[in-house]
Chains A and B, each alone.
Chain A
Amino acid sequence: MELNVWAVVAIGLVSLATFSLGYRSSRLASTTQDFLVARRTVRSRRNAAAVSGEYLSAASFLGVAGLVLKDGADALWYPIGFTAGYLVLMLFVAAPLRRSGAYTLPDFCEARLGSAGLRRLATATVVFIGILYLVPQFQGAGLTVHQILPSVPSWIGSALVAVLVIVNVFGGGMRAVTLVQAFQYWLKLFAIAAPTFVLCVLFFGQGGVNGLGATGLSEPMPPRFTRDAVVTVETDVVLQVKDGVLLWANGRVHGTAVSGPTYWGPGDHPVDEGTELRFSAGSETPVVHPAVLDNASWLRPVTGTGDLFTTYSLIIGLFLGTMGLPHVLVRFYTNPDGKAARRTTLHVLLLLGLFYVFPILIGALSRVYAPELLVAGRTDAAVLALPLKIAPNTLGEILGAVTAAGAFAAFLSTSSGLVVSVAGVLSTDILKGRVRDFRFGTALAGGVPLALALVLRPSDISLSIGMTFALAASTFSPVLLLGIWWRKITWVGAAAGMVVGGSMVLTSIVLTTVSGYTGGWAPSFLQQPALVTVPVAFLVVVVTSKATQSRVPPDTNRTRLRMHAPDRLGFIRDRDILRFGNAEERTRLANGRHRR
């Protein structure tokens, strides 16, 4: 693909808008409280847009379409789970958590269970989840830049996003980020809805593929190229062929050097890095192993018991994982009270549902128009590549620029939110909670994941995000749910559950990563272990708590009253005010100097 000037301009504009919005509102932020929770003056609609803006990450913007292109109907569970997590959050967590007055997850653990040790454990977990979530964001940024400017190596994109985020958070913290996030949601919605709409119109206007009036998506045949295609394989892969394909190859296939036309029969074909493959229009598309080979099974959900296990595991992990994501929960603290927190969640359900229809459509269209992404194993680029495939002219370039801008908005917003929450936790729990500490935490929270993103080999964005959800669901979700609703939970039980659940997920993460480098021997359930780890974590919390009933905190009843009593009765005590003081008081105490 040649240089797309439009895309570069669009990305520049998005970065500039993010930066200037952040900078302008950062002049209003000066106290620790401003940095952490935006003074709780954010209204529920804007807050909902901000939550959604923060939440719609690279996994939603690029990853969903990529997985739909590759796995078909089974991938539809990702957007469902990403949305339904908020319903569970709303049912069990949103209002009580807001009323507890805790400003971060570790703070909630301490407020409810009165243990500084548990707080430190929770801090470590938050930092870990945050970093794990940030890595695919930065890698996605690299992928996007590489897709638009093929001559630029992907580490430049990662570094660019990381630096932008750090600078933005440095300037204004949460306040700036709230405004930016709300803006980013609408930007992302536009950036995916408008191109999808135009592409669908073009698709139906052309009367389907090549005027045939059919997509071939329901037939038992592999996807076929709609026009001649050249693919360069960028990492060593095994390509699967269903019927047989005649192609032109230059490089190493099956371990021997090839240059010229070759025929691949049905079966596996290992291809080495740097090999160039040319296909003619109408020929079968080889697919990176493991993936769905023919369109008919792509169209069907759940074709075997293995699929059934993965699907249920995914449902559990995503439904329960959302509540344990640090950047989501911090955002709820900007609601004025519990009722507003619940309403915000309701708005979020609406906004997310509105968004997810579009990546699904793009994924399905890419199966028809951009099958070469399956060969290169770069299915995450579907949203970026599709416009030029359907409309190979200026219109396609402009639409591609819009989606690229949206993708950049996705990286910027999610990464900002994560960096703010990780930095907030680092600065208040490990350092002393001054503004300077927050900035140090920011540099750390952005720098470490960037380093990891550059070192680790990228995998499918949505898959690695799914793993992070599983980690959150196996650590924080038992503590939150039982902490809010069960009287007898103790800090020992909570800690045991977090350690056991967390280490089980960590083991499977390490195993899948190692197996990714050494031939992919790990069974597929290790990629989504939530169906096992979440119940085990819950069980451990319950059993250990029952065994240590003498450790139930003495003020349990009071804490529960505060969490559940309706807002009108006025039991909310904001813990950050208790710790850092009121914004107005601080202003008065600041030597009479007028601070804004």
Chain B
Amino acid sequence: MNGAASGQGDSPAPRPRRKKVVLADSRAPVTVLRTVVELEEQTSWAEEVVRSFIRTQFKDAVKFAVGTMLLFCALPLAFYLFPELSDVEVAGVSLPWLVLGVAPFPVLFAIGYWYNLVAERNERDFVDMVEK
């Protein structure tokens, strides 16, 4: 600190520019603060809002999980019940190897990408509603 101050004393200090001093921004933060306090205090309204938000998020996650599980759990059963599926060849590679060895990875990523969009949209909606 001292070193910096003495260093400035040698050269003429540039004229300070005019600055606008704001004590409190009258817009967003206050409302955010108020609703956050309300959520924190667990009023009956806040409790209900939070509960329904968690329920939405949970329902969406379950939808994605059930879909994925159905998709993947159907595969062994399909190959078990219809062994002729294993004889199909696509471009010289047998079908099960394409379906199990290559396809799952892009599919999993696509599901994840989609869920990410949904979950972030839910969160934005919640924040918007709370801040209104």
The proximity string for B residues 69-89 relative to A, scoring 1 for CB distances below 8 Å and 0 otherwise, is 100110111011001001000
B35 CB contacts on chain A under 8 angstroms:
569
Q: How many residues of chain B are within 8 Å of chain A by beta carbon?
A: 50
- Stretch from B8-16, B18-26, B54-62 that touches the partner: B54-62
- Stretch from A169-177, A369-377, A428-436, A553-561 that touches the partner: A553-561
Rounded to whole Å, the gap between the CB of B87 and the closest CB of chain A is 9
Secondary structure dominating the interface of A: helix
B72 CB contacts on chain A under 8 angstroms:
80, 84, 315
Q: Are A564 and B57 in contact (CB under 8 A)?
A: yes
A485 CB contacts on chain B under 8 angstroms:
54, 58
- Provide the bound-state CA to CA distance between A342 and B112, in Å: 9
Q: Are B104 and A80 in contact (CB under 8 A)?
A: yes
If A73-B97, A300-B79, A356-B105 touch, whether A84 touches B68 (CB-CB below 8 Å) is yes
- Stretch from A154-162, A346-354, A460-468, A496-504 that touches the partner: A346-354
Q: Are A299 and B100 in contact (CB under 8 A)?
A: no
Counted as pairs of residues, one from A and one from B, with CB atoms less than 8 Å apart, the total is: 136
- Provide the bound-state CA to CA distance between A285 and B5, in Å: 83
Interface presence of A345 (CB below 8 A): yes
User: For residue A364, which residue of chain B has the nearest CB?
Assistant: B97
Q: Are B108 and A346 in contact (CB under 8 A)?
A: no
Give chain B's interface residues, CB within 8 Å of chain A: 32, 35-36, 39-40, 42, 46-47, 50, 53-54, 57-58, 61, 64-65, 68-69, 72-73, 75-77, 79-80, 83, 86, 94, 96-97, 100-102, 104-106, 108-109, 111-113, 115-116, 119-120, 123-124, 126-127, 130
Secondary structure dominating the interface of B: helix
A88 CB contacts on chain B under 8 angstroms:
65
User: For residue A570, which residue of chain B has the nearest CB?
Assistant: B36
Interface presence of A163 (CB below 8 A): no
Q: Are B86 and A300 in contact (CB under 8 A)?
A: yes
Q: Are A90 and B115 in contact (CB under 8 A)?
A: yes
If A349-B109, A564-B50 touch, whether A357 touches B102 (CB-CB below 8 Å) is yes
Chain A stretch 295-318: residues in CB contact (< 8 A) with chain B? 299-302, 305, 307-308, 311-312, 315
Q: Are A91 and B97 in contact (CB under 8 A)?
A: no
Rounded to whole Å, the gap between the CB of A507 and the closest CB of chain B is 26
- Provide the bound-state CA to CA distance between A87 and B105, in Å: 11
Q: Which of B40, B94, B104, B124 contacts A84 (CB 8 A)?
A: B104
If A301-B76, A560-B54 touch, whether A73 touches B130 (CB-CB below 8 Å) is no
